Homo-oligomer: A and B are copies of this chain.
Amino acid sequence: MPDVASSAVTPIPTRWVGPIRVSGDAVAGEHEVPLATYETPLWPSVGRGARVSRAVEGGIRVTVVDERMTRSVLLVAPDAAAAVSAARAVQGRLAELQALVASQSRFAWLLEIRDEVIGNLLYLRLAFTTGDASGHNMVTQAADLVLQDVLRAEPRLEYGSVSGNLCADKKVSAVNGLLGRGKNVVAELLVPGAVVERELRTSVRRLVDLNTRKNLVGGIAAGSLRTANAHYANVLLALYLATGQDAANIVEGSQGITWAEERGDDLYFSCTLPNLVVGTVGNGKNLPGVELALERLGCREDRAVGANARRLAALTAAAVLCGELSLLAAQTNPGELMAAHVRLERRAEVRA
């Protein structure tokens, strides 16, 4: 009797929203983005942000700060001294291990190894570049290689786990933000006060105050961890699903910071997303709908290795900013959020 049966698909309502105006090294111009979601009010919300982006010269500036994918292996030593000595030996053989990884993979390149010793337990957090792939499997395979090599070289160590949770994949942590995992991307927009009032029906001051009181102070009060935003997870989920990503990575993706301030009459508004785990090739990317979406986003072009994935990360961050700006604006006005939800969900249900 089969345990796994009854193949089918779950269709997620999807729309292309925008275009969003963006600039920066990773992507420029005006681009629509696909949002696959049951929460259909997300479409006009991101759409409103996109309209604001088009009212600003250069639109949303996106900066890709870093990119890497990680896997942490766990080794068990007899004691801390043995763990530390093994860690130092591994660090001393970094070039060797880089060559080893490179010999087995065209795209995985071992950037660095961070070691952490807890009692007799040794965690090695391996960071790689992975080309245009998000790299989950690539780094597991590479970590397996490194792990076997370390076990051979350090006979006092025993296998603990190919994943020691210091990676950390699809889990809440501080390590990903502080040491990096996925693309680290900043999206920014300088919105003239008049545009804020016309398109967002609020004021610069009220938006800045709301961000500070809700996202910063409210987040701190809630016991958040490296998280200060209204709803990054909503936009990330929708874009990840539409582009074939491993969408459980919205867990760490949601850990980002919205930072806004008044600049004269203008609003400076930014979203910092240190953990965007996205790719344009690899698992899930060959499904027909996904491929079409990636092509329409211009993320399947013939570019330098990694450039398609950075483009996707940049568009994702820009879409997150659109959704964030729009929702915050709505929340500055009593009753607006609920009224919009009621109106839009009714409309969406008719259309869907």
Contact = CB atoms under 8 A, between A and B. Distances in A.
Interface of A: 3-18, 24, 32, 34, 36, 38-39, 43-44, 47-48, 50-51, 61, 63, 65, 72, 74, 76, 79-81, 84, 116-121, 123, 137, 140-141, 144, 147-148, 151, 159-175, 177-179, 186, 188, 209-210, 212-231, 233-234, 236-237, 241-242, 244-248, 250-251, 254-255, 257, 259, 261, 268, 270, 272, 283-284, 286-287, 289-290, 293, 331-332, 334-335, 337-338, 341-342, 345, 349, 351-352
B161 A217 contact: no
Contact of A272 (B117, B148, B236): B117
Given A117-B186, A218-B74, A286 B349 contact: yes
A76 B115 CA distance: 32
Nearest to A38: B284
Contact of A221 (B24, B250, B257): B257
- A-side binding surface: helix, strand, loop or mixed? mixed
B14 A7 contact: yes
Nearest to A351: B7
Which of A50, A140, A163, A209 has most B Cβ within 10 Å?
A: A163
B15 A12 contact: no
A26 to B, nearest CB: 11
24 contacts: A7-B13, A74-B214, A116-B221, A120-B188, A144-B338, A147-B334, A159-B334, A160-B213, A160-B214, A161-B210, A163-B230, A163-B337, A165-B219, A165-B221, A165-B222, A165-B224, A167-B222, A171-B254, A172-B254, A175-B178, A178-B223, A216-B220, A233-B248, A234-B248
Which of A9, A119, A283 has most B Cβ within 10 Å?
A: A119
A13 B6 contact: no
A76 B178 contact: no
A161 B213 contact: yes
A331 B118 contact: no
B213 A283 contact: no
B228 A220 contact: yes
Contact of A12 (B9, B32, B117, B162): B9
A217 B334 contact: no
Nearest to A345: B283
Contacts of A8: 14-15, 289
Contacts of A289: 8, 10-11
A182 to B, nearest CB: 15
Nearest to A88: B65
Contacts of A163: 214, 230, 331, 337
B65 A169 contact: no
Contacts of A335: 144, 148, 162
Contacts of A349: 286
A290 to B, nearest CB: 8
